[in-house]
Amino acid sequence: MDSVIANGQPVAAELPCSLEKFLVAQNLLPRSVVVEHNGEAVAPSEFSRRQVRAGDRLEIVKIVAGG
Amino acid sequence: MELNNEEIRRYSRHLILPEVGLAGQKKIKGTSVLCIGAGGLGSPIAMYLAAAGIGKIGIVDFDTVDYSNLQRQILHTDADVGRSKAESAKETIHGINPHCEVVIHNTRISSENALDLIRPYDIVVDGTDNFPTRYLTNDACVLLKKPNVYGSIFRFEGQASVFAPHLGGPCYRCLYPEPPPPGMVPSCAEGGVLGVLPGIIGCIQATEILKLAIGKGTSLVGRLLLFNALDLKFRELKLRKDPACPICGEHPTIKELIDYETFCGIVPEPENVGNPDEVTVQDMKKALDNPSLGIKVVDVREADEYEIAKVAGVPLLPLSELQSRFTELDPNTQYYLHCKAGVRSMKALAFLRQQGFKYVKSVKGGITAWSDEIDRNVPRY
């Protein structure tokens, strides 16, 4: 299986696929994460159109609410 | 806005910084900040802003000081346990700098009062501990064009940014358009937090406020700063304004404050309070209608009942077979379990929790409630 580098670690995934699909496959809630794709900011409304390919770099941050 | 001799002595280390100077210190004195929450983040924010010479600090908090707060909420001392946090905060701030005007709002911020609370202040700082208040704070700040200095923390990690669509940056909803389903993201009360973490994130928020006040440096607008205390590492993500953002996008659909408890899926009915393991049939419908949420619904009734009545698209895994078949489920996936009325699904939940499943909820009222509230075509039996 192909992989991407997510938060510095290799992660196997069925690629290419949309960013939305990738996030769901990783058990993440797509509306509750911030994603940078190959160094670029991605707005949540672009997740379903954005294609993730083998070797891509992703930075993914989950929502937290504590204060 | 003038400084007297005592203030000139007090702020001398600022005054000799070329980036601040007398002009900058006067701007700091002329700035008012509303601090929403006087807890872990609010403590260092309010204390450092007061020490730095912010002219007016508003404190919004309806809570009282608890022993479990003292590990990180340094505005409050052992002697303050049981007192109003807003009152305790005012006393601490005055002890640090009597020149700082403190206005206390000993109330819960709500859709009814948020705009009036925020309007008189120049800058808002978000030190709240829950999703409804974060969305409310964001929306009110966007509508009033006030910078929202954001920070949030959990366990060993923190985030900070400055949300200011009126300055060209994104807002909170550009990052997180919808809240996670209730119970999916644990709070600090559930998951814990390192005591010094809000100190670090709160000081970053206070730094951003002082920079906004003097108009110097590069702000966190358009960037999300992340901190991990265990690795002692900072990293940063680029952010962008979402053109589809429901409040600051090109075609906003939110033009006034909404009901944020409902928006965040919090059901106000008294019978639903106090059981965090349950979700409603409305939550179940949302999960089925939105596969992108990643929540799977499973029916734990027996096969003959499934034949009588079922919800389309929901697979069956009877409670009687769960012990031998639970490995068919993924312990990291989010599941909503339903049965006929909500009792067996709670048993299934308890069993799966023991097996290490973290994100399992039971649907209150089961398929009977589904039939009553969602789809009358599903027979009641």
pLDDT tens for each residue of B239-290: 999 999 999 999 999 999 999 999 999 876 555 456 889 999 999 999 999 9
DSSP states along A28-58: --GGGEEEEETTEEE-GGGTTTPEE-TT-EE
Q: Are residue B242 and residue B274 in the same domain, yes or no?
A: no
Do B288 and B215 lie in a common domain? no
Ranges of chain B whose pLDDT falls below 50: 272
Cα B227 to chain centroid distance, Å, stands at 17
With CB atoms and an 8 Å threshold, state whether B134 touches A31: no
Say whether B237 and A44 touch across the interface (CB within 8 A): no
* 3 state SS of B256: coil
Decide if B127 and A67 are in contact by the 8 Å CB cutoff.
yes
Give the residue from B263, B289, B317 where a domain finishes.
B263
Kindly determine whether residue A67 and residue B237, on different chains, have CB atoms separated by under 8 Å.
Answer: no
Of B263, B290, B321, the last residue of a domain is: B263
Q: Which residues of B touch A29 (CB under 8 A)?
A: 180-181, 184, 293-294
B203 counts as catalytic: no
Residues of chain B neighbouring A28 (CB-CB closer than 8 A) = 294
**CA separation for the pair B298, B362 (Å, rounded):** 10
Q: Which of B159, B238, B333 sits opposite A41 (nearest CB)?
A: B238
Domain range spanning residue B214? 31-263
What type of residue sits at position B308? I
- Match 């398929």 to its residue by tokens: B367
> What's the pLDDT at B270?
56
Is A34 close to B175, i.e. CB distance below 8 A? Answer: yes
Chain B residue at shortest CA distance from A32? B176
- Do residue B56 and residue B141 come from a single domain? yes
Contact B242 A43 (CB under 8 A): yes
Do residues B25 and B11 lie in contact, with contact meaning Cβ atoms separated by under 8 Å?
yes
What part of A 7-66 touches B (C-beta under 8 Å)?
20, 24, 27-32, 34, 36, 39-45, 59, 61-66
| Residue B100 is a catalytic residue | no
- Does B151 sit within 8 Å of A45, measured CB to CB? no
Element (H, E) at B338: strand B334-338
Q: Is the pLDDT of residue A55 over 90?
A: yes
- Considering the domain boundaries, does residue B196 fall inside one? yes
Cβ-nearest to A24 among B179, B239, B292: B292
Nearest to B214 by CA among B122, B118, B117, B93: B122
Comparing CB atoms, the residue among B151, B187, B294 nearest residue A27 is B294
For residue B161, the surrounding DSSP H or E stretch is strand B157-163
Strand ranges (E), B239-310: 278-279, 295-299
**Is A24's pLDDT higher than 60?**
yes
* Same domain for B321 and B180: no
Contact residues, chain A, for B184 at CB < 8 Å: 29, 32
Same domain, B104 and B150: yes
* Nearest Cα residue in chain A from B200: A67
- In-domain check, residue B347: yes
**Residue in A29, A34, A36 nearest the CB of B184:** A29
Hey, of B194, B237, B240, B295, which one would you mutate to test binding to chain A, going by the most A CBs within 10 A of its CB? B237
Contacts of B250 in chain A (CB under 8 A): none
Bridge-partner residues for B56, per DSSP?
A: B32, B101
The alpha carbon of B217 is separated from its chain's Cα centroid by a whole number of angstroms, namely 28
CATH superfamily assigned to domain A3-62: Beta-grasp domain (3.10.20.30)
* Residue that is written with structure tokens 């000139």 in the block: B8
Q: Are the Cβ atoms of A40 and B157 closer than 8 angstroms? A: no
Residue B155 DSSP class: B
Residues B282 and B300 in one domain: yes
pLDDT at A61: 96
pLDDT at B191: 76
Which of B250, B212, B226 lies closest to B33 in space, CA to CA?
B212
Do residues B217 and B282 share a domain?
A: no
Q: Are A52 and A4 in contact (CB under 8 A)?
A: yes
Q: Are strands B32-36 and A57-62 parallel, antiparallel or unpaired?
A: unpaired
Interface touch B176/A30, C-beta < 8 Å? no
B378 located within any domain: no
- Domains of chain B: total: 2
CATH number for the domain harbouring residue B306: 3.40.250.10
Residues B210 and B69 occupy one common structural domain? yes
| Cα–Cα dist B198/B334, whole Å | 29
- Tell me the CATH number at B87: 3.40.50.720
Domain-embedded: residue B24: no
Query: Of B241, B263, B285, which residue constitutes the final position of a domain?
Result: B263
Q: Does B202 lie in the same domain as B164?
A: yes
Catalytic residue among B188, B245, B248, B264: B188
Say if residue B247 is in the same domain as residue B275.
Answer: no
Q: How far apart are CA B181 and CA B158, in angstroms?
A: 21
pLDDT of residue B269: 54
List of chain B residues whose C-beta atoms are within 8 Å of the C-beta of residue A19:
none
3-state secondary structure of B202: helix
Whether omega before A30 lies within 30 degrees of 0, making that bond cis, reads no
User: Do residues B312 and B182 both lie within one domain?
Assistant: no
CA-nearest residue to B226 within chain A is A61
Q: Which residues of B touch A18 (CB under 8 A)?
A: none
Please provide residue B151's backbone torsions phi and psi, each rounded to the nearest 5 degrees. -150, 145
B48 with B119, same domain?
Answer: yes
Distance between CA atoms of residues A29 and A44, nearest Å: 11
